[in-house]
Structure 1
Amino acid sequence: MGHIELRDIDEDDHDAVFEMMRDREAVAMAAFTADDPDDRAAFDAWLARNLANPTASTHVVTENGGFAGIAAAFSVGDDRELTYWIARNAWGRGVATAALRLLISHETERPLFARVAAHNAASVALLRRAGFTELSRDTGYAPGVGREVEEIVFALLPALE
């Protein structure tokens, strides 16, 4: 693993994010994705909504200065959630672990929630290692796999005093 950082996303990153989020293996792992990962207009509209959201904090994950993924936090009602997507060329080297730790350090609100497809064993393990606790499971339609998928809701709870 190289040097991992989070930086603000800029317009020059949009193509890399789009290409990363079209990777078929990654789409299947994430499961709860865009209906059509190849639809650039839908992607651009989704990204514009997220970047305009005043509660969202969207970052590019870099490894040694190069693009390695995205990580973000946003509000859903009164809850604060986080999400991340790591480019396949950065899988298996601790990039996601480092990026998640950085994001958690920026996001001080607790509880902090995360959702993951139950079949995404790497993400499930990552969240558990980072101190997240499983809260619930539910099943919903996942466009990334074209069928119902179990989703796990995790929370990083406040530290006990």
Structure 2
Amino acid sequence: MAAHVELRDLGDDDLDAVFEMMRTPEAVDMAAFTAADPSDREAFDAWIARERAADGVRMHVVTENGGFAGTAALFTVDGDREVTFWIAHHAWGRGVASEALRLLISREPERPLFARAAASNTASLAVLAKAGFTEVSRTMSFAPALGREVEEITLTLAPVLE
């Protein structure tokens, strides 16, 4: 049976699951650009409170068959509208990320949209490519959780030309 994936607004009751998901060592290695100490709950709580209060940030929980499967969000950096997603390890490899991203971009009329991923994060890059994102640049950026420079790819989803 195919998974039923939905997005809903992030609520206070979701924060424990989000914290646990974002400190999974394998996921931190893939994401690269995370908190310096992913196990620091106080830092997580401060960060998530800032994000939830910021103008233009829309944070969603990804659900798979009604259960927590990750997060997806929209935000603005230097005037560019960006997407991000983080899928819980138990939901990897089943199309949950692809469907969550499809739902997220269908809710955002602004184009172009941007996304960023570590060059080594081939799974996320494949999800972004499947959604129509294309690479626009590569830079070396410091990844706090890894403590080193990592190649970061910026991608864009351009407007559909009519």
Same fold (TM over 0.5): yes
**1:29, 1:119 within 8 Å by CA — same for their partners in 2?**
yes
**Residue identity in the other structure for 2:123:** A
Aligned partner of 1:8 in structure 2 is 9
Identical columns (%): 66
Aligned partner of 2:130 in structure 1 is 129
Q: Which moved more, 1:13-22 or 1:72-81?
A: 72-81
1:1-161 mapped onto 2 (5 Å cutoff): 1-161=2-162
Deviating beyond 4 angstroms after TM superposition, the runs of 4 or more aligned structure 1 residues are none
1:77-124 deviation digits (Å, cap 9, x = unpaired): 321001000000000000000000000100111000000000000111
TM-score (norm 2): 0.97
- Could you tell me how far apart the structure 1 residues matched to 2:93 and 2:146 are? 22
| Structure 2 residues not aligned, in runs of 5+ | none
**Residue identity in the other structure for 1:50:** E
| Structure 1 residues not aligned, in runs of 5+ | none
CA-CA distance at 1:158 after TM superposition: 0.6
Pairwise CA RMSD of aligned residues? 0.7
Q: Which moved more, 1:137-146 or 1:8-17?
A: 137-146
**Residue identity in the other structure for 1:9:** L
- Could you tell me how far apart the structure 1 residues matched to 2:27 and 2:90 are? 11
- Could you tell me how far apart the structure 2 residues matched to 1:144 and 1:42 are? 13
- Could you tell me how far apart the structure 2 residues matched to 1:118 and 1:144 are? 16
1:34-63 deviation digits (Å, cap 9, x = unpaired): 010000000000000000012100000000
TM-score (norm 1): 0.98
**Residue identity in the other structure for 2:76:** S
**Residue identity in the other structure for 1:151:** E
